[in-house]
Amino acid sequence: MPSETNKKAREFERLLAFQNACLDCPRSAPAQPAPPAPDGLFTAEKLGIEITEYSLGQGKPGSLPRQQETVHQRIAHQAQSLYEARLTRHLQVNILWTIFTSCPALREEPQIAQEIARHVLESTHDQLHICRVSWKNINNALLTKYGIEISICPIEGAGKSCWSSMACFSFPPEAARIQKALDEKESKVTEYRKTCDEVWLLLVASSEFLSSQFTPDSSLEKMQFTSSFDRVFLLEEPRNTIHEFQIAR
């Protein structure tokens, strides 16, 4: 989990990116007031901007797909470090999670990383060839619990190996995801209006995570979403493309 300081710094970067890309956003320097104020505040204009990640499964407990991707990536990095401490090979290693109803616990992460590293080591110790390791053929409770499969592909020449983690998600229509994000932030608007004349919501679609990606659809421009926010925008990283959605209050 990112620290509160890192979280605020990331929010400020995104607020400045939005300010630079949106012509309607004030040009003055934004502030970051303490809660229960919005994440960004343009004091002179009394404009508050709430910033939130655009992610699958948004809700009060957070996004499970986003949590899974973060943990899966961390485990992949741990496994790569363990492997490369024993053996140097130029490989493409893909770790596929086929059972994702739950997220590995912190105590399970080192065990999973060690088991993944061990199987890659066994598969590449004597000879290099394309191979696949499936949880169905492994007698390991954790790999079976999360349905972990490993594909290993040698890469010609010298260089750094690439280890990646992949998961499959079922994506609902974008309109449903947008409305859910609005609903989750609706309760904040009343509090923000005590100090702000206008309140905007900024959704941020991060390119770093599959669960946070946004698929533009021309039909979204014609839809009206239900919300008490005055305006709703989506910032699509890394190009910082701006999308605005119509609101029916």
Q: How confident is the model at residue 64 (pLDDT cuts 50, 70, 90)?
A: confident
Mean pLDDT of the chain: 90
Residues above pLDDT 90, as percent of the chain: 66
CB count within 10 Å of CB 193 equals 15
Give 79-127 pLDDT, tens digit per residue.
999 999 998 888 999 999 988 888 999 999 999 999 999 999 999 887 7
Q: By the 8 A CB rule, do 135 and 112 touch? A: no
Burial class (CB in 10 A: 0-12, 13-18, 19+), 228: middle
What is the spatial distance between Cα 37 and Cα 152, in angstroms, rounded to a whole number? 49
Q: What is the pLDDT of residues 120-169, one digit of tens each?
A: 999 988 777 888 888 788 889 999 999 999 999 998 877 788 999 987 77
- Could you identify the residue written with the tokens 């983690």? 165
CA dist 23 and 27 (Å) reads 9
For 47-75, letters b (16+ CB in 10 Å) and e give: bbbbbbbbbbbbeeeebbbbbbbbbbbeb
* Rounded Cα distance, 234 and 231, in Å: 10
Residue with tokens 């104020």: 37
